[in-house]
């Protein structure tokens, strides 16, 4: 019997995928749920992340296809940046209200404002005080900002995805997902792009021979890459800004994107006050997503974890907590194989054991494929297509990496075989649609 009457059974701080995917079915089961949100309902992904990015990228994919198929189709495609941005707003602007409607439909209270923990069961939002039996911190990540003179002249990823006019001269600082994807989009839309890399490698968690193909292609399209270069200052001039580097190079630019990474939102939450442990990589949790305070949990990108900090990971964690709070399971979280993709053109996607790890361990077998040998890849005249498939000693597929226009769909096709360790006999029971990328992909196994 509950000795203390709290306002909620579960109170979430943050309303992104680390929250709402699990909170909605949880509340539908009669659990009293509240959500605190200081910004837009839905968090980063629907409002200033995945959904916006893929919408801005869609014309890039179309323009690449039209270029590759010249002689079959005639004419070239030019990206209308204001039109592209307007379409992005058509796609995403209603999402907060849509998600808010789903929350309201199961009677979840949404409290707008910044939540701060005052004890293990209490959160203050301005003058409002709310209590809960369990609290979930799902505050996500935010853009890292360089600590250099003139850093206030640089912009972040949210700013880029709200540009009403595309700058003619764009300088991007960084070499990760955001830097490479936005360089691809801006270059295709006609900007003069310079990308500054602190080290020698871009997308360092991906198979580097494939990454270098992307860099080479973007270079041929006009993107300038400065490797092993650090930005030391940004200065306003009459016509834009000047970006100064440690090797003496100065780049004249109209707009600067700071894409040097993302950091967890752990500040000003009262974590120290109540004893929630965290590191520079996020909140520390155990195998049940509990923090160092037993009734306080964390979900989504704010967690310090080895799993990819991606929307599907946050959704999985949110659903795990939903089952736990509903009393349906008390097992430790068991993460599945989680794929990741870089939305450059072509894409690079991967899942499971990496090529690098497989090469360091002789228990694995690596099969390399030039997928352009497959007739189906010639339908759209694809120019890039290679993959590495990794098998264990029993010849179960345990990892895959591909570079191609359709890499994301390829990895999704292979995902069940990796997660459930399909045998050759089980794979033989699969009869995919033909012709399709799934049919071509499974034919490689």
Q: What is the average per-residue pLDDT within 143-150? A: 96
* Residue 257 near residue 170, CB atoms below 8 Å: yes
Q: Is residue 170 left, alpha or beta, with left meaning phi > 0 and alpha meaning psi from -120 to 50?
A: beta
Residue 2 pLDDT more than 70?
no
- pLDDT (tens digit per residue) in 147-203: 999 999 999 999 999 999 999 999 999 999 999 999 999 999 999 999 999 999 999
* Phi, psi torsion values for 176, nearest 5 degrees: -100, -160
- pTM comes to 0.95
Residue indicated by tokens 């012709």: 435
- pLDDT (tens digit per residue) in 238-269: 889 999 999 988 999 999 999 999 999 999 99
Residue indicated by tokens 């809960």: 132
Residue indicated by tokens 């997902």: 177
- Of the candidates 203, 303, 192, 304, the residue with the CA atom closest to the CA atom of residue 255: 192
């Amino acid at each position: 019997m509950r000795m203390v009457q709290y306002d909620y059974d579960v109170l979430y701080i943050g309303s992104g995928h680390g929250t709402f995917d699990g909170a909605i079915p949880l509340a539908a089961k009669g659990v009293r749920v509240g959500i605190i949100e200081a910004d837009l309902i839905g968090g980063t992904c629907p409002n200033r992340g995945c959904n916006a990015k893929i919408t801005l990228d869609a014309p890039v994919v179309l323009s690449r296809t039209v270029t590759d198929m010249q002689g079959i189709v005639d004419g070239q495609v030019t990206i209308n940046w204001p039109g592209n941005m307007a379409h992005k707003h058509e796609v995403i602007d209603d999402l907060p209200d849509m998600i808010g409607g789903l929350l309201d439909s199961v009677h979840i209270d949404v409290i707008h404002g910044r939540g701060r923990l005052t004890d293990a069961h209490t959160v203050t939002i301005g003058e409002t005080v709310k209590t809960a039996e369990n609290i979930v911190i799902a505050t996500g990540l935010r853009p890292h900002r360089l600590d250099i003179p003139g850093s206030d002249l640089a912009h972040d990823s949210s700013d880029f995805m709200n540009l009403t006019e595309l700058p003619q001269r764009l300088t991007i600082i960084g070499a990760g997902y955001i830097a490479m994807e936005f360089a691809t989009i801006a270059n295709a839309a006609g900007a003069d792009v310079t990308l500054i890399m602190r080290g020698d490698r871009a997308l360092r968690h991906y198979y580097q021979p494939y990454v270098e193909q992307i860099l080479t292609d973007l270079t041929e399209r006009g993107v300038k890459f400065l490797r092993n270069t650090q930005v030391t200052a940004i200065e306003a001039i009459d016509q834009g800004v000047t970006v100064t580097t440690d090797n003496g190079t100065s780049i004249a630019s109209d707009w600067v994107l700071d894409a040097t990474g993302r950091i967890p939102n752990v500040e000003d939450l009262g974590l120290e006050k109540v004893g929630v442990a965290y590191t520079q990589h996020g909140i520390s949790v155990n195998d049940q997503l509990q923090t160092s305070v037993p009734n306080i949990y964390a979900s989504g990108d704010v967690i310090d974890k080895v799993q990819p900090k991606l929307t599907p990971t946050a959704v999985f964690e949110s659903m795990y907590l939903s089952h736990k709070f509903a009393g349906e399971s008390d097992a430790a979280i068991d993460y599945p194989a989680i794929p990741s993709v870089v939305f450059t053109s072509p894409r690079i996607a991967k899942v499971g054991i990496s090529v690098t790890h497989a090469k360091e361990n002789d228990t694995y077998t690596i099969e390399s494929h030039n997928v352009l040998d497959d007739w189906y890849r010639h339908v759209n005249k694809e120019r890039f297509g290679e993959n590495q498939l990794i098998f264990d000693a029993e010849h179960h597929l345990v990892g895959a990496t591909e570079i191609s226009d359709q890499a994301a769909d390829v990895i999704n096709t292979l995902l069940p075989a990796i997660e459930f360790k399909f045998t050759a006999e089980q794979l033989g029971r699969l009869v995919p649609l033909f012709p399709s990328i799934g049919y071509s992909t499974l034919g490689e196994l």
